A and B are shown apart, each in its own frame.
Chain A
Amino acid sequence: MSSRVCRTCGGSDIDVDQARGSAVCTSCGSVLEDNIIVSEVQFVEGSGGVSSAVGQFVSADGPVKAPLLGSGFHTSVGKESRAQTLQNGKRQIQQLGSQLQLNQHCLDTAFNFFKLVVSKHLTRGRKTEHVIAACLYLVCRTEGTPHMLLDLSDLLQVNVYILGKTFLLLARELCINAPAIDPCLYIPRFAHMLEFGAKTHEVSMTALRLVQRMKRDWMHTGRRPSGLCGAALLVAARMHKFRRSVKDVIGVVKVCQTTLRKRLTEFEDTPTSQLTIDEFMRVDLEQECDPPSFTAAQHKAKMQQLEQELAKKLDEVEGEISCYKDEIETELEKSRPKLRGIYAAYTKEVDPEDNGEVLSMPSEPEEVESEDVELQAATHHLTEDFLCQVIQEEEGHGMKGDREAEPEKESMGPHRQAASLTSILGQLPSAASLSLQQTFQTLDTSGGDEKDLGDHPQSEELDLEGIDDQEIDKYILNEKEVQVKTELWMKQNAEYLKEQKEKQERINKEKEEGTYKEKKKKKSKKQDQIEALTAGEAIERMLEKKKISSKINYDVLRDLNRGTGSPTRSPDHTPDTTVARKRLNRRRRRKTSDSNQDLAANTSIMGKRFRHLISSTPKKKTAHQVERTVSVVTETETPAETESNPPPDSAAETSPTLPTAPSPMEEEEEEEEEAEEECVSALQLVGDYGCDADEEEIF
């Protein structure tokens, strides 16, 4: 029916005959089209008088080749990997989707998502199952179906969080903004499962109201929607006089008992819970509540504050009490009869010892508090410093002799306190420690590396500054302890050790038998070198190995190969070599398309001459010569014409004495060239026969 113009006469009156399938111009009679393709449906009568349409269903994204009839082929031979992946994915989506009772539209959308995912290479490194589940869940979310991620994970027996991770990633990559889950969506589904009979609708409506109330009371942020639904349904059921226990609800909603209870108590705390059933159905309270966790946190904060205040007050009271105590004591002392003579001496002796124990400025309150040093250490900075110096001294084995602290070493107090202090305060650097560490470092450096002490950050030498060796020793057990621990450990891990032993025995046995197959750990897929005598063989092998694409006609490639790849095999095969020559030249022409045409012509002529020479020379060397010609040609492309003359001659001279360059390299080069050649000549085979003529002309 195309109103075209006739080619010969220009007339537009064209008669299209459907029966013959031809288009004829009525003015001049020339046939414009023969065998027109018609898009009609034909019917065939089958057995029993049933007429059926002729034709096959072909899917739009099916395989490139026509599907074979009859045998119900499932293993697709020669299909592309991508098509296979998609097909596989589609199948799995259908399977999983039907289990979830999703309609076809959803499944199609899911498949589209899957196609997007595959095209973005997000399936790499992930199980197809997970990816498909994520796609389906995406659809569920965008469509608003009452399916939870939990359902999917139940079906697949996979951890929810793993699926969730995949889902989040896909949603982000595909830039799909899934709307937030509304617990109201789940209510009808759960209500149905709880079997309320005729009253299901009413119960669901009540539950919906409850959920909305909960939402306004900020109970739903950060919580699983299913938990809220469960609580709402439970209350709604009770309101309508259905007896549903917590266990029933849990079974349907899939939350824990504790969660449900908690939600109920939270709801109880809201003012809405105080209303009666009728009031609730009619009235909506204006007031909104805070989220329960917020109130809890505030409550906690308040309690903490109170505690702090209390503690402060206690301290104050204590302080006052101690003040009073001191005053009373002083008063008492004053009122006591004073000791004279020997006794006075005794009283005086006591004081320096007391002071010694305090180890700090002898102020009374501080003395009291130094006993609970652990609590107040941070505030008594002087005490810390002093004590730490004492500790350092102990380590340094009395490096500093002129310390007042020496006599105090005898008392056990500082020892104990030292231990506790070090555990709390950490090592404060002091001259003693630094010097100590320096000696350590010098020892180490003299032993091992020659690294400078100077370059701290760069050196791998362990900087021992601030590390207490004694403490570290505590981390290491002594011999006896090691024995005990070894025993314990052996007992505990007996199974594991047994397994290891068995494995080892098995391996040894297999080794002896000679059937030992070492389990190779994830070898990177390196393509091993294709070894072949000639380029042609190499190409064939490569082709065999990997079918690159179904869109290439391999037969043509092989033919090409046969033509060019074997000047070595059959030097007498002059047509082949001429063909080869031509092909080489063609390649050269392509290569030299940028450079001077004349130069190229000359070189090609030279090359041809050279070829003649080649055909007479021995088989082995021809491969090399081919390579030589290439190098010659590439060289001669750039320099002047005159220079091109000597190189081929010299090359010809040196041809018998050509060194054997590494063959695989040459072959690879050849291979490359030939591959190039093939690409080129494939083009030519398809269309461009004009080149031949050009070649002849230059000749």
Chain B
Amino acid sequence: MDSSNDEALDIIITNVVATFRTRCHLNLRTIALEGTNVIYKPEVGKVLMKLRKPMITASIWSSGKIICTGATSEDEAKLGARRLARCLQKLGFKVRFSAFKVVNVLAVCSMPFAVNLINFTKNNRPIASYEPELHPAATYRIKNLKATIQVFSTGSLTVTGISLLTRLNTHRHIKYLTPFYVQLRRHIGLRD
């Protein structure tokens, strides 16, 4: 997660959340008892199943809806989801793989300089908000791209949103924001 290159900004996707449906009712108790790496939560009514190869955690509900989190790319998410469905198939349920949809993508990026959050929020008043009591980062919501950017005082950013799916979009996000940062950078580079 290092951005040693000063010109280009490395945007790394760290989490992809996807959902799909199996179109059949699932008996959670069977899954809980016969699967490895499962956690059954009867109060909530779901089973957490963790896969190793694409490192994925899936929440399985009895209605057949499944949420997959932890993948590092869209393809990986799909692969993980299919493996999961295959696993459920082997357990004896008539599983069908339908309505696969990526719901959220999280990416991380780092600026080579620190950011003064208070000034940053002041300048971008309604769009950005900063509550130190609640969260150490300032949240900046881009409406037209439908993404949320969290800016930390060290200069690292996390970008969340569905529109991050295409690589192009992620760069767009960052380009969108760089002018704001340039206003507020502290010249850390000189120190080294």
B125 CB within 8 Å of chain A = yes
- Please report whether the interface of chain B is mostly helix, strand, loop or mixed according to DSSP: loop
- Cβ-based interface call for A567 (8 A): no
Taking a contact as CB atoms closer than 8 A, the residue among B32, B82, B95, B117 that contacts A467 in the complex is: B82
User: Quick one: given A460-B98, A482-B33, are A469 and B117 in contact (CB under 8 Å)?
Assistant: no
Residues of A within 8 A of B186 (CB): 290
* Total inter-chain residue pairs, C-beta < 8 Å: 131
With beta carbons under 8 angstroms apart, the residue of A175, A461, A477 that contacts B97 is: A461
- Which of A226, A426, A467 has a CB less than 8 Å from the CB of B86? A467
Q: How far is B133's CA from A149's CA once the two chains are assembled, in angstroms?
A: 8
Residues in B neighbouring A471, C-beta threshold 8 A: 53
With A and B bound together, what is the CA distance between A467 and B125 in angstroms?
A: 49
| Shortest beta-carbon distance from A511 to chain B in Å | 24
Task: Please determine whether B91 and A462 come into contact, CB atoms closer than 8 angstroms.
Answer: no
Query: Is B132 a contact of A225 with CB atoms below 8 Å?
Result: yes
Tell me if A291 is interfacial: C-beta within 8 Å of chain B: yes
Tell me the residues in window 447-506 of chain A with beta carbons closer than 8 Å to chain B beta carbons: 460-464, 466-467, 469, 471-477, 482, 485-486, 489, 493, 496
Say whether A290 contacts B191, CB under 8 Å.
yes
Chain A residue, CB-CB nearest to B115: A221
Contact with B along A217-242 (1 / 0, CB 8 A): 01011111110000000000000000
Query: Across the interface, do B97 and A290 meet the contact criterion of CB distance under 8 Å?
Result: no
Residue from A148, A171, A220, A476 in contact with B87 in the complex, judged by beta carbons closer than 8 Å: A476
How far apart are B155's CB and chain A's nearest CB, in angstroms? 7
A460 with B121: in contact, given A222-B137, A493-B42 (CB under 8 Å)? Answer: no
State which of B51, B125, B133, B154 has its C-beta within 8 Å of the C-beta of A293.
Answer: B154
A148-B133, A462-B97 known; A476 vs B33 contact (CB < 8 Å): no
The CA of A489 and the CA of B35, in the complex, are separated in Å by 12
| With A301-B2, A460-B97 as contacts: A476 and B34 at CB distance below 8 Å | yes
Contact of B126 among A167, A175, A426, A496 (CB under 8 A): A175
Set of chain A residues within 8 Å of B133, measured between Cβ atoms: 148-150, 160, 164, 181, 224-226
**CB <8 Å contact, B33 and A486:** yes
Chain B interface category by residue count: 35 or more
Interface contact A460-B23, CB-CB below 8 Å: yes
B95: chain A residues at CB < 8 Å are 462
Asked whether any CB of chain B lies closer than 8 Å to the CB of A294, the reply is yes
Contact of A160 among B86, B134, B154, B188 (CB under 8 A): B134
Q: Is B90 an interface residue (CB 8 A)?
A: yes
Residues of B close to A172: CB separation below 8 A? 126, 129
Give the contacts of A487-534 with B (CB-CB under 8 A): 489, 493, 496
A227 to B186, CA, bound (A): 24
A468 to chain B, nearest CB (A): 8
Interface residues in A130-182 by Cβ distance below 8 A to B read: 148-150, 160-161, 164, 167-168, 171-172, 175, 177, 180-181
Is B130 among interface residues, defined by CB-CB distance under 8 A?
yes
Task: Return the contact of A221 from the options B134, B153, B188 (Cβ within 8 A).
Answer: B153
Measured CB to CB, the nearest residue on chain A to B114 is A294
Q: Of residues 43 to 74 in B, which have CB atoms within 8 Å of A's CB atoms?
A: 43, 51-53
> B118–A221 contact, CB under 8 A?
yes
Residues of A within 8 A of B131 (CB): 164, 167-168
Please tell me if the beta carbons of A177 and B126 are within 8 angstroms of each other in the complex.
yes
A475-B36 in contact given A223-B136, A493-B42 (Cβ < 8 Å): yes
Q: How far is the CB of B98 from chain A (nearest CB, A)?
A: 4
Q: Chain A residues near B118 (CB, 8 Å)? A: 180, 221
Q: Chain A residue with minimal CB distance to B2?
A: A301
B96 near A218: Cβ-Cβ < 8 Å: no
**Are the CB atoms of B90 and A472 closer together than 8 Å?**
yes
Separation of A198 and B137 alpha carbons in the complex (Å)? 39
Given the complex, which residues of A lie within 8 Å of B121, measured CB to CB? 180
A293-B154, A466-B79, A489-B32 given; A475·B87 CB < 8 A:
yes
Is A423 close to B, CB under 8 A?
yes
Q: How far is the CA of A173 from the CA of B28 in the complex (A)?
A: 41
Whether A222 pairs with B117 at a CB distance below 8 angstroms is: yes
Task: Check A304 for interface membership: any CB of B closer than 8 A.
Answer: yes
Chain A residues whose C-beta falls within 8 Å of the C-beta of B32 in the assembled complex: 489
- Asked if A472 and B134 sit within 8 Å, CB to CB, the answer is no
Least CB separation from B130: chain A residue: A180
Is the CB–CB distance between A474 and B132 below 8 Å? no
Q: Which residues on the B side are within 8 Å of A41 (C-beta)?
A: none
B37 contacts chain A at the CB level, 8 A cutoff:
yes
| Residues in chain B near residue A220, CB distance under 8 A | 132
Is the Cβ of B155 less than 8 Å from the Cβ of A294?
A: yes
Whether B104 sits at the interface, judged by CB under 8 Å, is no
Instruction: Indicate which residue in B82, B91, B155, B191 contacts A463 across the interface (CB closer than 8 Å).
Output: B82
Indicate if the CB atoms of A293 and B153 lie closer than 8 Å: yes
- Taking a contact as CB atoms under 8 Å apart, the answer to whether A426 and B53 are in contact is yes
B105 CB → nearest A CB, Å:
19
Interface contact B134-A469, CB-CB below 8 Å: no
Cα(A453)–Cα(B62), bound, Å: 28
Cross-chain contact B89 with A222 (CB below 8 angstroms): no
B40's nearest neighbour on chain A, judged by CB, is: A489
Contact yes or no, A472 B83, CB < 8 A: yes
Residues from chain B with Cβ under 8 Å of A168 in the complex: 129, 131, 134
Which residue of chain B is the closest to A161 with respect to CB atoms?
A: B134
Q: Which residue of A lies closest to B138 (CB)?
A: A222
A297: Cβ under 8 A from any B Cβ: yes
A171–B139 CA distance with the chains assembled, in angstroms:
14
A294 to B132, CA, bound (A): 17
In order of increasing CB-CB distance, the 3 nearest A-B pairs are A222-B136, A221-B153, A460-B98
Q: Could you list 28 A-B pairs, sorted by A, with CB under 8 Å?
A: A149-B133, A150-B133, A164-B134, A175-B126, A180-B130, A181-B133, A218-B153, A222-B132, A222-B136, A222-B152, A222-B153, A294-B188, A423-B53, A462-B82, A463-B82, A464-B86, A469-B90, A471-B53, A473-B90, A475-B37, A475-B51, A476-B35, A477-B36, A482-B33, A485-B33, A489-B33, A493-B42, A496-B42
Besides the known contacts A221-B117, A467-B82, A485-B34, 20 further A-B residue pairs in the complex with CB atoms under 8 A apart? A160-B133, A177-B126, A180-B121, A181-B133, A221-B118, A222-B117, A224-B133, A290-B114, A294-B154, A304-B2, A423-B53, A461-B97, A462-B89, A462-B96, A463-B97, A467-B86, A472-B83, A476-B87, A477-B35, A489-B40
